[in-house]
Structure 1
Amino acid sequence: MNARPDVFGSVHLGYVVIETSRFADWRRFGTDAIGMHHDDLSRDLMRFRLDDHECRFLLRRGPAEDVVAVGWHLDDHTTFEQIEARVRAHGVPVVQGSAEEAKQRGVERLLRFPGPKGISQEIYTTPVLATAPLTMLASGWVTGGSGMGHVAITSAKPALMRGYFHTVFDARLTDYIDETISGVKLKIRFLRVDGRHHSIAIAAVRGLPIDPVRTRVQHLNVQAASLDDLARSYQRVHELGFDMALSVGQHTNDKELSYYARTPSGFEWEVGWNPVVVDESTWEPGTHQGISIWGHTPVGQTIVDKLDQFRLGTRSLLHPEKTVPALSGAGVPDH
């Protein structure tokens, strides 16, 4: 029996769909604080651009205050057909996005199927390139062949989530981080689908089946083109009065310099600079102790915040996490 084709390297994080009712706050956050290009499509739809793609973040009006879909840019139609066939072969429904949905996302066509934690996964091959020049405070963002950044998700079932992304996209394990925050032990798994150190991070409370985060994602990441861009956006976040979650610091595993701001929807937004690029010929997964070499100090966290986080964790025991068992196998065991 022939081994299935490996799609690793042909998959890249392409766009993110956010549902929110806080359009005015998001416009200020994305444009004036972070420094992205902004386009209004209608009263209920707006987009942010990072580069020549028409859409990198689509915001639609609704109550979720959360990420509701992630779009994956595939290099070619062969990869598209292989992933579609994988999903269908496991008995998971695949739906073609409407022409209007494709237009909103700035792609020619897309397919949608269920993903972990209720986040729809969407695939496409051809992004629509914008004709209008970028108008933004940042000098630029690092996208291209490594995608547009990464998505970090907390999970009570990390092996199943890792199994899902391995089954669908041939995601590879880059490394682990063991961290203790406020007495809670976390294990974070970092998965890559291309040369970027990770496009997906999965954080789990060690030994406890709880999820301490209200939102489906813990944070989104974009990569600044320069250290100056990072510093200036950090200053703007402060000056405009947006909450800072973690101050500037440097990560242990990918060496990225970054900070974390809190978005109007409540999840965090990481602006990073200069992470390592994985060399597939030599890279071996390892485990790092702690997320930071230095910095990343919590900003403004009170005992009330910690109690709220504890309450969220215990409440998650009452609401089982959504998984897609058919695409997760038995999960991928940790080594």
Structure 2
Amino acid sequence: MNTPVFGSVHLGYVVIETDCFADWRRFGTDAIGMHRDDLDAGLMRFRLDDQECRFLLRRGPAEDVVATGWHIDDHTTFERIEARIRAHGVPVVEGTPEEATLRGVERLLRFPGPKGITQEIYTAPVKSAEPLTMLATGFVTGDSGMGHIAITSTRPAQIRGYFNTVFDARLTDYIDETISGVKLKIRFLRVNERHHSIAIAAVRGLPVDPVRTRVQHLNIQAATLDDVARSYQRVHELGFDMALSVGQHTNDKELSYYARTPSGFEWEVGWNPVVIDENTWQPSTHQGISVWGHTPVGQTIIDKLVQFRLGARSLVHPEITVSALSGPGIPDD
């Protein structure tokens, strides 16, 4: 019997590889307002709460997210997920004690994920006794996890199939959007009460990926509206690029803005998204990503040309998939 694991899975940490350590220190600490711990010249962590690590930054050339860590509620569910992956012939590797320590967990397993983003699972996060030192008053984590990741893909059905196979991810809803004449379909997947932990955007009718990085954006949820406003102001004052101005989404009703990180992908700071009631929720399709706002900031014709060039490049570099865990993919409902 394939016992469901939905509801016992939570986005726990993200690993980023970058050579822009000085810029990331200013971005994460002084602009976004997170707690920072400098481990050595090539390792840095950010905290959002009492968990020892929410973002691990290690020195390297990728300028991208390289791994996501998922907190699993208990050992029984952890072993159930491990058994699923092994049953599909996909290799599972135990992280070293040093790797677990860096991520602030007692033990972790890793396995391949879509777009080359390694997936890691753990059950026991290490809590820090050190008080938080940060500009924000707080962030919302807990049962909803620490936020969400959004990716662009030429294989959206396969990615949806992957997260369904591994975590029993459920479809929350869709958004249809047209940006600069390009039609997009965005799928939103949840693994717990958070409206979505994974968003997958695809260009309709064209097998192109217009984004250089593996992730399009990361999201964290601020505790108060004032935290969103103050961090938005700090991003501007410190000279970091703003991707999208403050706005409110059509589907999860989250009020947010998008800044551009030193590594190039975007960082969404949001507030007050809806919480899913599993007894009543029905998937639907929304037209446009925003009720209001979220207007592009500083986009030029050069930016658009770069995007088209990246899309063309994706035609000759096939997207990394994990076919054994994706199956035939899940078609749109």
Match of 1:215 among 203, 213, 216: 213
Pairing partner for 2:303 from 302, 305, 310:
305
> 1: distance between equivalents of 2:276 and 2:53?
26
Between the aligned partners of 2:79 and 2:42, the Cα distance in structure 1 is 33
Give the equivalent residue in structure 2 for 1:251.
249
State the distance in 2 between where 1:239 and 1:79 align: 45
Cα distance in 1 for partners of 2:142, 2:40 equals 28
Tell me the distance in 2 between the aligned counterparts of 1:35 and 1:80.
33
Secondary structure in structure 1 of the residue aligned to 2:253: coil
Name the residue aligned to 1:317: 315
2:302 partner letter:
V
Q: 2: distance between equivalents of 1:194 and 1:267?
A: 25
Give the partner amino acid of 2:197: S
Q: What amino acid does structure 2 have at the position aligned with 1:320? A: P
Report the counterpart of residue 69 of structure 2 in structure 1: 71
1:99-138, CA deviations, whole angstroms, 9 ceiling, x for partnerless residues? 0000000000000000000000000000000010000000
2:132 aligns with: 134
Q: Which residue of 2 aligns with 1:25?
A: 23
1:89 aligns with 2:87: yes
Distance 2:306 2:155 in 1: 22
Any residues of structure 2 matched to 1:226-305 within 5 Å, and which?
226-305=224-303
SS in 1 for 2:120: strand
Alignment match, 1:148: 146
Gaps of 5+ in 1: none
Return the offset for 1:277: 0.4
SS at 1:27 equivalent? helix
Counterpart mapping for 1:51-70 below 5 A = 51-70=49-68
SS in structure 2 opposite 1:318?
coil
Letter in 2 for 1:102: A
- Distance, in Å, in 1 between the alignment partners of 2:249 and 2:119 is 28
1:284-305 CA deviation, whole Å, 9 max, x = no partner? 0000000000000000000000
Aligned-partner Cα distance in 1 for 2:150–2:251: 15
Alignment of 1:65-214 (within 5 A): 65-214=63-212
- Counterparts of 1:105 and 1:59, CA distance in 2: 10
User: How far apart are the structure 2 equivalents of 1:227 and 1:158?
Assistant: 33
SS at 2:315 equivalent: helix
| Separation in structure 1 between the aligned mates of residue 43 and residue 152 of structure 2, nearest angstrom | 27
**One-letter identity of the residue aligned with 1:215:** T
Give the superposition deviation at 1:333: 1.1
* Distance in 1 separating the partners of 2:74 and 2:145: 15
Q: Aligned equivalents of 1:61 and 1:308: distance in 2? A: 26
1:233-267 Cα shifts (integer Å, max 9, x gaps) = 00000000000000000000000000000000000
Other-structure match for 2:4: 6
Q: Give the residue type in structure 2 aligned to 1:278.
A: I
Q: What CA distance in whole angstroms lies between the structure 2 residues aligned with 1:206 and 1:125?
A: 38
TM-score (norm 2): 1.00
Distance in 2 (alpha carbons) for counterparts of 1:124 and 1:108: 8
Q: CA deviation at 1:36?
A: 0.2
Q: How many residues matched?
A: 333
Q: Distance in 2 between matches of 1:294 and 1:265?
A: 28
Q: Deviations over 1:180-204 (max 9, x none)?
A: 0000000000000000000000000
Partner SS, residue 232 of structure 1: helix
User: Separation in 2 of the partners of 1:31 and 1:90?
Assistant: 41
CA deviations over 1:127-165 (Å, ceiling 9, x no partner): 000010000000000000100000000000000000000
* SS of residue in 1 equivalent to 2:247: strand
In structure 2, distance between residues paired with 1:62 and 1:108: 25
Tell me the secondary structure at the aligned position of residue 198 of structure 1: coil
- Cα deviation 1:52-103 (Å, max 9, x = unaligned): 0000000000000000000000000011000000000000000000000000
Q: Distance in 1 between matches of 2:77 and 2:152?
A: 28
- Distance in 2 between residues matched to 1:208 and 1:78, nearest whole Å: 42
* Structure 1 CA distance for aligned equivalents of residues 71 and 294 of structure 2: 31
For 1:260-284, what per-residue CA distance to the aligned partner results, in whole angstroms no more than 9, with x for missing partners? 0000000000000000000000000
Counterpart CA distance in 1 for 2:282 and 2:233 is: 37
Q: 1:211 Cα deviation (Å)?
A: 0.4
